[in-house]
Amino acid sequence: MSSQQSQEIAATAARLVVEEGLEYGPAKQRAVRQLGLGRQADLPDNDELEDQVRDYLALFCADTQPAELAALRSLAAVWMERLAEFRPHLTGAVWRGTATRLSNIHLQLFCDDSKSAEIGLINQGVDYEVGSATVRGKQIDVLGLSVLCRELGEPVILQLSILDHDDLRGALKPDSRGRSERGDLAALRQLIKKEEEHEQP
């Protein structure tokens, strides 16, 4: 069972995730500061925070969020087609269904050579910035692109995490609740189709 403190942090962090587009880690840290809690605060895990995000979306964004999510998923599909040779997998809020117009699109690319994706972007005339992140204790390159989402009428940040081809084997294992944490283009198209069928009267 989660403690009352972790529930309070999760509720505050969920608002920051939805209203400001923060990622889960920074949202938890900001929530701790806003609530005036110390470093020993009982932080919620990502599942608990995601539950709160879903509750917040259902309460305050039910009329706007589904269309925003659909727009981001269709944009993700376009870029997955463009980057098909790098075995792209969608992850994060756009994959899990909790994204809004403020969310970044997170694609993981599984490359034989870590520089091949950069060369591919250069060949397509795409501008990007190089950053880094730590994944399971390993430093990886993250390429950031600002891409126009026509359906939303504004740019969206597309983040490409560059992983080794060998990492793909473990990537499709389900999480603690039996859900997949990422999916390829075929899996994304299935999700989009399911949502479209769900919306039909």
What's the total number of domains in the chain? Answer: 2
Same-domain check for residues 104 and 169? yes
pLDDT digits (tens, 9 = 90+) for 46-77: 999 999 999 999 999 999 999 999 999 999 99
CATH code of the domain in which 189 resides? 3.30.460.10
Q: What is the mean pLDDT of the chain?
A: 92
For 75-100, the DSSP string reads HHHHHHHHTGGG--EEEHHHHHT---
| Banded model confidence at residue 199, pLDDT cuts 50, 70, 90 | confident
Domain region containing 25? 4-60
Same-domain check for residues 91 and 181? yes
Same-domain check for residues 101 and 131? yes
107 vs 2, which has greater pLDDT? Answer: 107
Same-domain check for residues 172 and 82? yes
- Indicate the residue among 35, 60, 85 that finishes a domain: 60
| Banded model confidence at residue 201, pLDDT cuts 50, 70, 90 | low
Same-domain check for residues 157 and 113? yes
pLDDT digits (tens, 9 = 90+) for 10-48: 999 999 999 999 999 999 999 999 999 988 899 999 999
Same-domain check for residues 160 and 184? yes
| Banded model confidence at residue 114, pLDDT cuts 50, 70, 90 | confident
Same-domain check for residues 189 and 95? yes
Check pLDDT > 80 for residue 181: yes
